[in-house]
Structures are given as C-alpha cells and as structure tokens.
Structure 1
Amino acid sequence: MTVNLDPIDWSVLAELQRDGRLPLTELARRVNLSASAVTERVRRLESTGVIAGYRAEVDLAAVGYGVLAVVRLKYPGSRHEPLHRLLDERPEILECLRTTGDDCYLLKVVATTMPQLERTINELAQFGSTTTNVVYRQTLPYRGPQAPEHD
C-alpha cells in the first residue's frame, strides 16, 4: 500500500532521518508546524508504516569491526531456507538483499579481521559462488529516501 505524502510529511521524514532523536518541539520548529500538529503527523507516519522504526547508527570501526565488505552470492536452486537460517545465526551479516541478474543475493558483511571475513565468506560459499569487495570508505552513507522529483 502506498501512502500519499505531502511536502510537509517529506520534510518531517528528512529531519527524522538526519536525527531520529530530534525532540518534537524542535522538529515542529524546523518544519513550521505546531508541536501538536507535528506529533500527529509523526504518529500517522508511524501507524501507516512509513516510519518503520528508529535505530542508532553505529560506527563500525569504533566497536571493533575494521573490515566491511559487500558480497555477491550466486545461489543455484530454489531452496533458500538453509541460507536464511545462516543469516539468522550470523550477526556479522548486517544486510541481505535478494536481487535480479547473475547474482541472487547482495550481502553487507562486517568482520574484526580479514581471517574472520574469510571464514564468513567460506560459510557463504557453501551455498554458491561468491564475489567479495572490501570497502575502502563509505563515500555516501545511507541517507534514506527523499521526496521524489516531479516533472
């Protein structure tokens, strides 16, 4: 279900994506609404599922994960449950996207060391061929969706 958002909703989302802990009074000031009006909008965006949750952004290096990699996995066959179980068991696999094209999955993996990354890749390789790219730098951190441009 698509939720119709007006420009003020998009402004609220943009501010909360920059700082999910922003006090509602400050959010209201930034989007030029009263505190009660912005509170109602945030509650509506949460109840309709537009705002799916709030989380802390963690500096991976600061907590010991000095290695970040993107792994592409070609998964032959159609029984994906064993891979899904591994994803549930391995916290170093931060994200997994099912994709079209030659690769079936795109995974974001962290490790404390290169040998740890190698062990994780070896576990993934039991499901199919992998291609691993180690990330030098996060040039553009995840920023969330912005209001679409209209012609």
Structure 2
Amino acid sequence: MPMAMAGETRPRWVSDLSSPPAPRTKTNIPDPIGYPSHGSKKSSHKDPKAPKKAQTPEEMDTLKLKKAWEVALAPVKSLPMTFIMMYMSGNTLQIFSIMMVVMAFKNPIMGLISTNQAFERFETETNKGQMLPAKLAYVAMQLVALAVGVWKINGMGLLP
C-alpha cells in the first residue's frame, strides 16, 4: 500500500495536532479563586524564573537549627513501631525475637557513635552553642531506644 498520495486529504485530528485551535474567548463564567485568567499578566503566584532572594546567614542558621532538631527527634519516631514489634515477637528465645533484640541494640549504639556525623552538616561557627541542646536530645532519644531493648531482654529473662 503506498504511503500518502498527493491528492489525499488528512483527517481533521492530524491537522489539529499540527496547528492547535485558538484559545476560546472569555465567557461569563468567572475564573476559580486563585487561578487568574491566562490573558492577565497579574498573578498571585511567584514567577518561577525569577531569581531567588539570597538568605542571610542568620536565616540559614535558623533553618539549619530547625533541621538539626528534626534529626534529633527522628529516633523517637520509630520507637512505637519497634516497641510493638518487640511486644509481638514474644519472650521466648527464637530467631525472630533474637534478631529484634540485636537490631534494638545495634541501631541506637550506631546512632550514639555517629552523633557528631549526624549533625556536622548543620553545624557552623555561629550556631555551635545552639546545636548542643539538639545533640543532647538526640543522645537522650537514642538512650530511650536502648531502654526498649533492655526492656525486651529483661522480658526474655536474659538479665540477671
């Protein structure tokens, strides 16, 4: 079958794809709130191509301190799930309960060892003093996670 003959007409949808129809004129239906019409140059949204305003060092320190507190409180967010898994695994010596106990001790100990590495990306010369409470909270959260592991091995009868 030959490709396209010279006298053959194209379907309408092919010509619509190559040259889209003109936008419709404005009707009496108002634009939704927060969505200005395409024709207006005013927009409530920021221009994505506009250069971003440089942040001051004080703003950066505040943002870094906020992120450091998020890191400091992260260990306690996984604690409820760990606690439930420990409770559900039972108090007998089985491979699953032993693996849960090993993980309950390994993760907080590794977190305690790497405390400075967890916060070094947020620490600057100007916010070193403000970073200390976040580090102490991180250590406290890791110790709480260790306490859950101690509770589990006590329940298993492995503590004297």
If the length of structure 2 is used for normalisation, what is the TM-score? 0.21
Q: Report which of the two has the higher share of helix.
A: 2
Larger RCO, structures 1/2 (Cα 8 Å, 6+ apart): 2
Q: Report which of the two has the higher share of strand.
A: 1
If the length of structure 1 is used for normalisation, what is the TM-score? 0.22
